[in-house]
Chain A
Amino acid sequence: MTDRRANAQSFETLAMPLFASLYNFAHWLTQNQEEAEDLVQEVYLEAWKSFHRFETGTNCRAWLFKILFHRLHHFRRRWAKAARVEAFEKPEDQESVAAEPPVAHEIHDEDVLGALEKVPADFREVVLLADVQEFSYKEIADTLKLPLGTVMSRLSRGRKLLRGELAEVASTYGIKPAKDQASTGESA
């Protein structure tokens, strides 16, 4: 078997099993099935073209996601969509701990997805990379080309925003709003 055939085979073994993961993520980034399909297709073609640069033994998932964000950048320009949300980018208030609202023990997937959609894209991306794709902070920083501190603050803020949205859902399930529990829940 030639090296290149071996390459083709290892590409199929390493990269193709990540197809569903990439598609799910692309769908979140684009919020549109057709654009997600185009994006994933381009990621695979780009990855295949540059597979000779992939170092065997390193994290193929991280490498593919890096390409995904790189392609997304081009796509966003192509779609002329300014999807970035800068307004929320303010320093975290480290001196106080925000109210930590209660969240129901079981929430329907559709409600979770609805809540996630309300979180601004910049924060949502980091939450999804950390909590769903289980990337390390450093991998996220490399993928998004962001400083580590920004990754950490976006993750923290994103999780808080999401929790706030889920608490809204919780209140529709009959769970008490945060204010009612703040005085009793934190008396350690």
Chain B
Amino acid sequence: MNVLTFDSRQCERIRRHLDAYLSNELLVETTSEILRHLETCEACTRELETRTRVRDFVRRAATNLMPPEELRLSIQRRLRETQPGFWAGSRQLNWAVALAGIVVIVLGGIVTHEWVRVVRGRRIVAGVLAIGVADHVQCAIKGHNYPEVANPPEVLRKKLGPQYAGLLEVVHQNLPGFEVLEAHICSIPGSSRKYVHFITRGRGTILSVILTRNDGAQLPSGGAFRTVVAGHVNLYAAREQGMNVAGFESRGYLGFVVSDLDRNVTLQIADQLAPPLNAALQTAG
């Protein structure tokens, strides 16, 4: 094993903490000490960059395996099969009685059934659309991860990477009156979900256009829960954390337009964006 010699004992001390620093596990005081050291030490800064790069490589490579759709469907099917027993809440309850109960409920309360379905559907819509709102609030609003002067398009394309760089032009062209300040791939602490995030400014506010792989999250099918249809794309709307969000599903992705603008304005914007994004995602893969 090669052992490096350091001019500074401080470097050696800092490097022992770098793993915990990278995992955000240090006390504030130690973190400050590391940051102070990094300001003046090029070698340790380079070392941290390399370690961060290795982590990012793994993060990217280890999450690109898409599970078979058939598996998800099979799990959902098996879960549904077990649900009646669970709902009955009694291990002794006989299947026939449970079935009879279900028949009675279906025959006796179509209206109730429909109401439950609508409430459930709405909750699912809100749950899925909350995925986009969470990123807008965390990254754009609380994190303020955008510059006051828009980053140049070539910088944004680089940040998006080859897979998503082409979407920048689509967002730019179909979002009149808004300036794209920032575009990047981001995630929320505690979640491995990746967001393709466009942060834009217009009409006196910040608006996010967000795409993320659906990873099993699905908007309810059928026309009952969608709000409008844009081209061939169903649009769904909800209000979460004080934000209005319009969302759609497209080619394995979920798309969101999130802002504190009026619900109808947000929907109009999504209405313009969803069809071209849907078309562009076909090539993004």
What's the nearest-Cβ distance from chain A to residue B266, in Å?
Answer: 22
- State whether A48 touches B82 (Cβ < 8 A): yes
A155 at the interface (CB under 8 A from B): yes
- State whether B191 touches A134 (Cβ < 8 A): yes
A8-B87, A132-B62 given; A188·B19 CB < 8 A:
no
What's the nearest-Cβ distance from chain A to residue B98, in Å?
Answer: 12
What's the nearest-Cβ distance from chain B to residue A49, in Å?
Answer: 8
B242 at the interface (CB under 8 A from A): no
A136 touches which one: B25, B216, B217 (CB < 8 A)?
A: B25
B154 at the interface (CB under 8 A from A): no
CB 8 Å contact bits of A115-137 with B (1 = contact, 0 = none): 01000000000011011111011
Which residues 114-166 of A sit at the B interface, judged by CB distance below 8 A? 116, 127-128, 130-134, 136-137, 152, 155-156, 159, 162-163, 166
Measured between beta carbons, the chain B residues less than 8 angstroms from A96 are 1, 3
- State whether B86 touches A109 (Cβ < 8 A): no
B83 at the interface (CB under 8 A from A): yes
B60 touches which one: A13, A109, A159, A162 (CB < 8 A)?
A: A109
Chain B residue, CB-CB nearest to A94: B16
Chain B residue, CB-CB nearest to A139: B190
B176 at the interface (CB under 8 A from A): no
A105 to B192, CA, bound (A): 22
A27-B65, A61-B190 given; A48·B79 CB < 8 A:
yes
Which residues 1-60 of B sit at the A interface, judged by CB distance below 8 A? 1-8, 11-12, 15-16, 19-20, 23, 25, 41-44, 46-47, 50-51, 53-55, 57-60
A41 to B18, CA, bound (A): 37
Measured between beta carbons, the chain A residues less than 8 angstroms from B25 are 136-137
A179 to B23, CA, bound (A): 28
- State whether A20 touches B213 (Cβ < 8 A): yes
A24 to B193, CA, bound (A): 13
A35 at the interface (CB under 8 A from B): no
- State whether A40 touches B75 (Cβ < 8 A): yes
A83 at the interface (CB under 8 A from B): no
- State whether B216 touches A18 (Cβ < 8 A): yes
- State whether A188 touches B123 (Cβ < 8 A): no
- State whether A182 touches B4 (Cβ < 8 A): yes
A171 at the interface (CB under 8 A from B): no
* Residue of A2, A12, A20 with most partner-chain B CB within 10 A: A20
A45 touches which one: B7, B12, B82, B192 (CB < 8 A)?
A: B82
Sample of 17 further A-B pairs with CB below 8 A, known A44-B79, A61-B191, A188-B43 = A4-B86, A5-B87, A5-B116, A11-B79, A13-B124, A13-B127, A17-B216, A20-B213, A21-B192, A41-B71, A45-B82, A100-B4, A109-B60, A112-B61, A116-B62, A186-B6, A188-B41
18 A-B contacts (beta carbon < 8 Å): A4-B89, A13-B123, A17-B131, A24-B62, A24-B63, A61-B191, A93-B1, A100-B47, A112-B58, A113-B62, A134-B192, A152-B20, A159-B54, A163-B51, A163-B54, A186-B6, A188-B6, A188-B7
Residues in chain B within 8 A of chain A (CB atoms): 1-8, 11-12, 15-16, 19-20, 23, 25, 41-44, 46-47, 50-51, 53-55, 57-68, 71-72, 74-76, 78-79, 82-83, 86-87, 89, 116, 119-120, 123-124, 127, 131, 187, 189-193, 213, 215-217
